Amino acid sequence: MVLDDDETGPAPAALMGLNMLVETRGGYNYTHAEYRTWLEEAGFTDIGSTPLAAAGANAAIIARKRPYTS
């Protein structure tokens, strides 16, 4: 479940975030921007997301990693 960048929705992701805080130590749902930042720092490009209408998932984060060349 991926949160919008303002962390207010979509509702299922926000509710899952609340559940994570209640059920786990330091549990948290992350935003599109947080995933983008981490992927960029790891050298990924062409970062985007595809919306999903699935139980327990609202998006697939997709990125490309260029092959290592020396």
pLDDT tens digits, residue range 15-53?
888 888 898 888 888 999 999 999 999 999 999 999 998
Residue 5 included in any domain = no
Residue 52 included in any domain = yes
60 lies in which domain range? 11-65
Residue 22 included in any domain = yes
| pLDDT score of 68 more than 80 | no
User: Residue 8: its pLDDT value, please?
Assistant: 86
User: Residue 69: its pLDDT value, please?
Assistant: 74
Burial of 38 (0-12, 13-18, 19+ CB in 10 A): middle
The tokens for 24 are 């786990």
pTM of the model: 0.82
Residue 70 included in any domain = no
State the sign of the Cα–Cα–Cα–Cα dihedral 21, 9, 56, 38.
negative
Residue 1 included in any domain = no
Name the band, by pLDDT with cuts 50, 70 and 90, for residue 67. Answer: confident
- Total count of domains within the chain: 1
